[in-house]
A and B are shown apart, each in its own frame.
Chain A
Amino acid sequence: MTATVPVVIPKNGTGKSPKRRRRNRGGPAGGGGRDAWLLVLPALIPVVLFSVYPLLQGIFLGFTDARAGLNLPVNVNGIDNYVKLSGNTLFWSSFGIGLIWAFSVTILQFLASLGLALLLNLDLRMRWLARTLALVPWAMPPVIIAIMWRLMLNPTYGPINQSLRAVGLPSDINWLGNASIALPVVIVVGVWAGMPQTTITLLAGLQNVPTELHEAAAIDGASTWRRFWHVTLPALRPIIVAITTLDLIWNFNSFALVYVLTAGGPGGTTMLPMLFAYNEAFRYGDFGYAAAMGNVMVIVIAFFLFFYLRGQMRSRNS
């Protein structure tokens, strides 16, 4: 469900929120806290039981030899899984593919979306059409996006090869079946699928940039490029940080799109870590080992996020 989650846009001026701390209007004094708990409890209990608890259990399973199957004993085996993982070259190559995928998609997505958002923010004709088109992939199920692109990239009947044939270029390219190009192709599909959310978020941010700043800079003779660099980009910064952070996490953890596009093939060249761990757990039944992979993924993504966000904090402060 991650891929379609809407983005919560952070705002610089949160200080605007009125400091209303009146608690229990209409109720007896001091009862507000208890009322709140009663209202929240029906939401809280299922979330704790079926998402917080499984998550903690999942982290724990990463340190056990749990396997699929009825009533098999589960033993804690400490760091055995991680020792085994460190020697698993297939896993590390999948990990590398995952990082290439996540970073390429996030960066390309950001650049393409920023360009589109800037265009949509201008007073151009047909803007509504571009905006609508940019929204559609957001609503589409990832499985259908993958199916659509499989049809597009079909070596014989797909329109891409047909267009290449029409202009006399080599047209027998097996886009998803050729180990040397499958990953870049899948990355392009990933960009297509994730662009809407990033574009709309950036557009919302752009529309919040005060126009006075732009006008002032224009009167001072700043070129379009300089205005973009010195006015728009700094104002947009919190939103850029938020959306690229989320995009990176989502892309690193994404599953459905690539599962349907290539299932990790050809020859494992598009085997994202999530697919690898899924196979380990539900094809080979190695629950403990798969959970250990999940733990490694969390640590790696947390590592990148930590340095990215810390770097952003620092440059904002300086």
Chain B
Amino acid sequence: MTTITTGTTGTVGSLKRGRMIARPLQYLALVLYMIFLGFPLLFLLTTAFKSSRELQSPTAGFLPTSFDWDNFVQAIDKANLVTAAGNSLIVAVCTTVLVTVIALPAAYALARFRTKLRGIATGWILLSQVFPFILIIIPLFLVLKNIGLINNLAGLVLVYTVWSMPFALWMLQGYVAGIPVELEEAGAMDGAGRLRTLRTIVLPLLAPGLVATSLFTFISAWNEFFFALVLIQDPNLQTLPLALARFVGAEGQVQLGQLAAASLLATIPSLVFFLLIQKRLTSGLLSGAVKG
């Protein structure tokens, strides 16, 4: 803007003046946003470290006076939370493996062979969003009951696999479409068989996308609540969100610190995974939409 001729300096000047006023306001807005978004998180963190005496005192400050790991120890001591975390882990890992194994070949087919399936898959992804889960859960409950998968982690894995599949497929086919076909053709030209081309050329290039998709599937399964609420009644089989939701009602009223500590621990896996993949998640979806 410095190279603009004298005729327009008036505009540039007013622009600059405008910016002088705008900048502080922009920072103010940014800080307000950060408080709104960050304060609850900071509060959860500090509460988890406060002793119960400190929590019950209405005059205690916002920051804990000393770092107290008791809440974490006690939260972990509660056997049902550990069991629940174990259940969540089993369900999330099984779902992730199943979805990845099933979706990978399908995504490859969707991206490389342009069949009608692409349209159908996209249509289903969008359609399945509109229907409230109440319509799906009742028949699903009846079906799973008939085949003995109610109150069964395998049943939950099955449901999660089916319901994370469309998006995993969509993401993965975007990543496949991002790999130039020419590379595969070059491989074939050099005499590599189909499988070998896939293994040595496509798979390494697809690896980051595959990781992102798997982690995303893991997070969805780890966080899910509604299906688990309906399908799991046995306290020994409940997943972490279920156990925590019960904890709120029962002891959570008094054990604020433990509740915060348990919540924090339950968030860590999805949070870490999410921050690992977030860049790729957004860019991958963009490219999935553009190149698809």
Binding site for B on A (CB under 8 A): 1-2, 4-11, 13-14, 16-17, 20-27, 32-33, 35-37, 39-40, 42-44, 46-47, 49-55, 57-59, 61-62, 66, 112, 115-116, 119, 122, 124-127, 129-130, 132-144, 146-152, 154, 156-157, 159, 162, 165, 192, 195, 200, 204, 218-219, 221, 223-224, 246, 249-250, 252-253, 255-256, 259-260, 273-274, 277-278, 281-282, 287, 290-291, 293-295, 297-298, 301-302, 305
Contacts and interface: CB of A to CB of B under 8 A. Distances in A.
B259 A35 contact: no
Contact of A143 (B4, B40, B112, B241): B241
Given A132-B275, A259-B225, A294-B135, 7 more contacts: A1-B160, A130-B37, A141-B241, A157-B58, A218-B1, A253-B133, A301-B130
B148 interface: no
A259 B248 CA distance: 12
A221 B129 contact: no
Tell me the dominant secondary structure on chain A's binding face: helix
A117 to B, nearest CB: 10
A124 B162 contact: no
Given A47-B166, A143-B244, A291 B225 contact: no
Contacts of A49: 162
A54 to B, nearest CB: 4
B158 A46 contact: yes
B94 interface: no
Contacts of A305: 130
Per CB-CB distance, the 3 closest pairs between chain A and chain B, nearest first, are A139-B274, A58-B135, A57-B139
Given A4-B219, A23-B113, A35-B109, A135 B132 contact: no
Contacts of B69: none
A126 B27 CA distance: 9
B115 A250 contact: no
Contacts of A255: 133, 225-226
B38 A133 contact: yes
B20 interface: no
A148 B143 contact: no
Given A47-B165, A140-B267, A282 B225 contact: no
A150 to B, nearest CB: 7
B286 to A, nearest CB: 6
A132 B252 CA distance: 29
A294 B29 contact: no
Contacts of B271: 136, 139-140
A62 to B, nearest CB: 8
Given A33-B115, A36-B117, A249 B130 contact: yes
A51 B140 CA distance: 8
A274 B131 CA distance: 11
Given A14-B290, A50-B140, A122-B26, A21 B132 contact: no
A263 to B, nearest CB: 9
A13 to B, nearest CB: 8
Contacts of B154: none
Nearest to A275: B134
Contacts of A119: 26, 29-30, 33
Contacts of B260: 148, 151
11 contacts: A11-B286, A14-B290, A43-B106, A47-B165, A58-B131, A58-B139, A126-B30, A135-B278, A147-B244, A147-B245, A221-B8
Contacts of B112: 36
Interface in B106-128: 106, 108-110, 112-115, 117, 124-125, 128
A16 B291 CA distance: 8
Contacts of A127: 30
A16 B286 CA distance: 14
B215 to A, nearest CB: 10
Contacts of B285: 6-9
A290 B140 contact: no
A141 B289 contact: no
Given A25-B188, A151-B44, A298-B135, A141 B62 contact: no
A54 B270 contact: no
Given A25-B181, A39-B108, A148-B40, A139 B219 contact: yes
B85 interface: no
Interface stretch (B74-82, B167-175, B203-211): B167-175
Interface string B25-45: 011011001101111110110
